[in-house]
């Protein structure tokens, strides 16, 4: 078991593609480093934009017992190798294009099956609970992974403020979809806005992080600023970015990738090495920055904490 628990709780045949993607990332990092040495610090345009974007420290961030004792993925990779289709489908597109995103002012509306529906400004969200750094594994469906020090607090802290009713069974997240600032929204890769969802008990689990930063700093635009969720035992696309609305609902919401390709992307999308994507295996993964593959862990290594949520479920059917 690799997780340190809190004392009080605690395409097309993608293995080859994943290797290619990771090799591209590794070689790009090497090339950038070589170029920097040769030119006195010159970076490629997207890396330069990410490197020179304003970086603001978050005050009062405390260390958390929710962590994994693994090597952190470098900040440069975390902020320049992203899936964020609102800004383009290439991994480098978000770092290149997300500077157009306006994150102030920003509000998140919470409504639906709750006693006290409310609209929260981002400043209020930042102050709602103590911020803590949690080092989580991130496993993406394309079979690559990272280890990232996210900053935030349990999503349950926010949801408790609106008092979910007994009818609330699911939580639906709707993200910003602004064609003026998000070039990918002008296309038809997905149905916009991007919608994701969790069962209420998944959303209320202490591991589910309302995320406001990374590496002790304000969340960069390309990583889902100003507020996103991170659900570490699920594939990365379940962790909705740039959240604008949250609804508590009785029925399972229709989510973006499940709606686009239901045979490939189930609602639950728990990391499960025994359930292959129809076009590639999920049994192995490649950590960004490494050439070697490693075994994929059940629930991304968080089985001890979350397996009980799925007692009695056929995880091959309910993928």
- The answer, as to whether pTM is greater than 0.75, is yes
Give the residue among 96, 72, 75 at the shortest CA–CA distance from 86.
96
Query: Which of these CATH numbers, 3.90.420.10, 3.40.630.30, 3.30.70.140, 1.10.3720.10, describes 14-310?
Result: 3.90.420.10
Distance CA 80, CA 88 (A): 13
Strand partners, 57: 217
Interval 280-286 mean pLDDT: 96
What residue spans define the domains of the chain? 14-310
Inter-CA distances, 287 with 71, 77, 118, 232, 238, Å = 10, 11, 40, 15, 19
Asked whether the predicted pLDDT for residue 252 surpasses 90, the reply is yes
Distance CA 168, CA 127 (A): 26
- pLDDT tens-place string over residues 193-246: 999 999 999 999 999 999 999 999 999 999 999 999 999 999 999 999 999 999
- pLDDT tens-place string over residues 188-202: 999 999 999 999 999
Q: Is 286 left (phi over 0), alpha (psi -120 to 50) or beta?
A: beta
Residue-level pLDDT at 152? 98
Residue-level pLDDT at 47? 60
């Amino acid at each position: 078991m690799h997780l340190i628990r809190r004392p009080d709780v605690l395409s097309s045949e993608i293995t080859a593609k994943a290797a290619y993607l990771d090799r591209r990332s590794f070689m790009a990092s090497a090339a950038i480093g070589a170029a920097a040495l040769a030119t006195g610090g010159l970076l490629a345009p997207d890396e330069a934009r990410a490197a020179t974007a304003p970086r603001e420290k978050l005050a009062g961030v405390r260390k958390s017992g929710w962590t994994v004792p693994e090597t952190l993925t470098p900040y440069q990779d975390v902020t320049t190798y992203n899936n964020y289709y609102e800004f383009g489908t290439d991994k480098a597109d978000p770092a290149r294009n997300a500077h157009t995103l306006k994150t102030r002012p920003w509000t998140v509306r919470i409504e639906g099956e709750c006693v006290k529906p409310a609209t929260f400004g981002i400043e209020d969200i930042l102050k709602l609970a103590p911020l803590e750094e949690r080092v989580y594994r991130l496993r993406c469906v394309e079979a690559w992974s990272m280890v990232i020090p996210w900053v935030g607090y349990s999503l349950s802290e926010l949801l408790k403020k609106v008092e979910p009713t007994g009818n609330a069974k699911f939580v639906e997240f709707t993200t910003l979809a602004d064609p003026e600032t998000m070039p990918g929204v002008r296309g038809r890769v997905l149905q916009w806005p991007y919608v994701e969802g969790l069962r209420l008990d998944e959303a209320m689990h202490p591991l589910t992080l309302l995320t406001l930063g990374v590496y002790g700093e304000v969340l960069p635009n390309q990583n889902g600023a100003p507020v996103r969720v991170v659900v570490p035992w699920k594939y990365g696309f379940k962790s909705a970015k740039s959240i604008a609305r949250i609804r508590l609902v009785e029925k399972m919401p229709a989510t973006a990738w499940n709606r686009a390709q239901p045979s490939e992307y189930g609602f639950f999308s728990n990391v499960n090495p025994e359930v292959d994507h129809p076009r590639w295996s999920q049994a192995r993964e490649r950590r960004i920055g490494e050439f070697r593959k490693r075994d994929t862990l059940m629930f991304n290594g968080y089985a001890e904490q979350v397996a009980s949520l799925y007692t009695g479920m056929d995880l091959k059917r309910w993928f």
